[in-house]
Amino acid sequence: MRVRLSEIAERSGVSISTVSRVLNERPGVSPQARRQVLTAIDVLGYDRPVRLRPRAGGLVGLVLPELENPFFPRLAHHLELSLSRLGLSPVLCSQTLGGVHEDDYVAILLEHSVTGIIFVSGVHALVDSDPARYQRLMDLGLPIVLVNGALAGLDAPSVSTDDVAAVELAVQHLEHMGHRRIGAALGQMRYLPAQRKRQAFIEAVTARGLVPDDLDAADLVETTTYSVPGGQQAAERLIDRGVTGIVCGSDVMALGVIRAARGRGLRVPEDLSVVGSDDSQMMEFADPPLTTVRQPAEALAQAASQEIAEQIAGTAPHVGEVLYRPELVVRGSTASAPTPSTDAVSPGQRRSR
């Protein structure tokens, strides 16, 4: 227990005796010191004693896209943990193609008197989305938080992965591996994150002098769907343009790129390097293990949960978008660029077996 107390004391910046007084509800502790200790307990992942747990603040809706993309279940897991530690009860609402729309879920959640809603990569992430649907909720006094997407003209709190940094990490990694002809397989341009990544990629390859003489920077980008077939379709076109490395908009798309490469008789990573995005569970067990740019799921979840909890407690929302930096995770799907030779097979050609 002393180890535990010392960890809490170090994290909260108070003495071990102060931590002990807080845990045992003894007098002589300022409100600020008490908050610091309780916050440290939550951040370190310890369970508060029952008497120190906040009363349940009500239900919080979690509105997410379909859970087929492995990243969303991971984010939902961290959201549920973070909300529960704050005394809030999460209600998961996942959408499916042709199923219940986000607006319908909102109506259901309102009927059940939720005290707040966290929207993940929803309608707010669409470029031409009308902010009025979210403004109405804010006008009702309902706390909301947007994750991975922000709407112009809406004074709502938003937490997102830094898409520009994600692309720069991937392009920089491939450049350092000697690749000079790099492509990008991204999702639909109707989504703000995809638009951000496309612009960031064009700027990154242009600034680094990685645009081939026979192509424009835009020719190095293919936009399809966030799916295995989408990644495969984008890769077919990019391979025909002679790229030796491909930056993908998601891990699922990266799997499609690998499938396309193998269909051409190309080896990954010897002939074609592939970088995913998200760091979904099981990607380290893919064949080959996938190099990817990890979205900070835990940080996003903690930030969104803390923001919604503070609003429920009466604090004014923190207006604006806060960006969280992703992390490059290098595995086996990237390697040094293939060395050109007069008798080598170009990336766009099929190898004989």
Strands 116-120 and 291-294: unpaired
Question: Within this chain, do residues 192 and 275 fall inside the same structural domain, yes or no?
Answer: yes
Location of structure tokens 């990890």:
294
Nearest to 333 by CA among 279, 263, 297: 279
* Mean pLDDT, the chain, whole residue set: 89
Report the predicted TM-score, pTM, of the whole model to 2 decimal places.
Answer: 0.79
Three-class SS string for 113-178?
Answer: CCCEEEEECCHHHECCCCCHHHHHHHHCCCCEEEECCCCCCCCCEEEEECHHHHHHHHHHHHHHCC
Q: Look at residue 179 in the predicted model and tell me its pLDDT.
A: 98
Question: Within this chain, do residues 274 and 236 fall inside the same structural domain, yes or no?
Answer: yes
pLDDT band at 11 (very low <50, low <70, confident <90, very high): confident
**220-260 pLDDT, tens digit each:** 999 999 999 999 999 999 999 999 999 999 999 999 999 99
Question: Within this chain, do residues 75 and 110 fall inside the same structural domain, yes or no?
Answer: yes
Per-residue pLDDT for 349 more than 80?
no
Three-class SS string for 1-59?
Answer: CHHHHHHHHHHHCCCHHHHHHHHCCCCCCCHHHHHHHHHHHHHCCCCCCHHHCCCCCCE
Q: How far apart are CA 85 and CA 78, in angstroms?
A: 11
Q: How far apart are CA 72 and CA 94, in angstroms?
A: 9
Q: Kindly state whether residue 312 falls inside one of the protein's structural domains.
A: yes
Residue 324 near residue 299, CB atoms below 8 Å = yes
**Segment 181-200 mean pLDDT:** 96
Q: pLDDT over 70 for what percent of the chain? A: 92
Question: Within this chain, do residues 304 and 156 fall inside the same structural domain, yes or no?
Answer: yes
pLDDT band at 350 (very low <50, low <70, confident <90, very high): very low
Q: Look at residue 226 in the predicted model and tell me its pLDDT.
A: 92
Q: Kindly state whether residue 343 falls inside one of the protein's structural domains.
A: no
Question: Within this chain, do residues 245 and 131 fall inside the same structural domain, yes or no?
Answer: no
pLDDT band at 2 (very low <50, low <70, confident <90, very high): very low
Q: What is the CA radius of gyration of the chain?
A: 23
Q: Kindly state whether residue 349 falls inside one of the protein's structural domains.
A: no
Per-residue pLDDT for 36 more than 90?
no
Give how far the C-alpha of residue 214 lies from the chain's centroid of Cα atoms, to the nearest Å.
Answer: 34
Question: Within this chain, do residues 206 and 177 fall inside the same structural domain, yes or no?
Answer: yes
Give how far the C-alpha of residue 113 lies from the chain's centroid of Cα atoms, to the nearest Å.
Answer: 29
**326: exposed, middle or buried (Cβ count in 10 Å: 0-12, 13-18, 19+):** buried
DSSP 3-state of 93:
strand
CA distances from 4 to 10, 26, 35 (A): 10, 19, 17
Location of structure tokens 């900070």:
296
pLDDT band at 206 (very low <50, low <70, confident <90, very high): very high
Nearest to 121 by CA among 58, 84, 163: 163
> Which token pair is 21?
């007084």
Question: Within this chain, do residues 287 and 306 fall inside the same structural domain, yes or no?
Answer: no
Q: Look at residue 55 in the predicted model and tell me its pLDDT.
A: 47
Q: Kindly state whether residue 101 falls inside one of the protein's structural domains.
A: yes
Higher-confidence residue: 95 or 194?
194
Q: Kindly state whether residue 88 falls inside one of the protein's structural domains.
A: yes
Question: Within this chain, do residues 134 and 108 fall inside the same structural domain, yes or no?
Answer: yes
Biggest CA pair distance of the chain: 81
Per-residue pLDDT for 148 more than 50?
yes
Q: Kindly state whether residue 48 falls inside one of the protein's structural domains.
A: yes
Question: Within this chain, do residues 225 and 287 fall inside the same structural domain, yes or no?
Answer: yes
Lowest mean pLDDT among 54-58, 182-186, 348-352: 348-352
Q: Which of 241, 272, 294 is a domain's end point?
A: 294
**Segment 71-90 mean pLDDT:** 92
Q: How far apart are CA 150 and CA 131, in angstroms?
A: 10
Q: Kindly state whether residue 336 falls inside one of the protein's structural domains.
A: no
User: Based on the structure, what is the number of domains in the chain?
Assistant: 3
Question: Within this chain, do residues 90 and 66 fall inside the same structural domain, yes or no?
Answer: yes
Query: What residue numbers bound the domain in which 108 lies?
Result: 59-162+296-327
Q: Which of 35, 52, 69 is a domain's end point?
A: 52
pLDDT band at 99 (very low <50, low <70, confident <90, very high): low
CATH number of the domain at 270, please.
3.40.50.2300
Q: Kindly state whether residue 346 falls inside one of the protein's structural domains.
A: no
pLDDT band at 97 (very low <50, low <70, confident <90, very high): low
CATH number of the domain at 19, please.
1.10.260.40
Higher-confidence residue: 348 or 190?
190
Question: Within this chain, do residues 80 and 178 fall inside the same structural domain, yes or no?
Answer: no
pLDDT band at 261 (very low <50, low <70, confident <90, very high): very high
Enumerate the β-bridge partners of residue 185: 222, 248
Per-residue pLDDT for 70 more than 90?
no
Question: Within this chain, do residues 156 and 169 fall inside the same structural domain, yes or no?
Answer: no
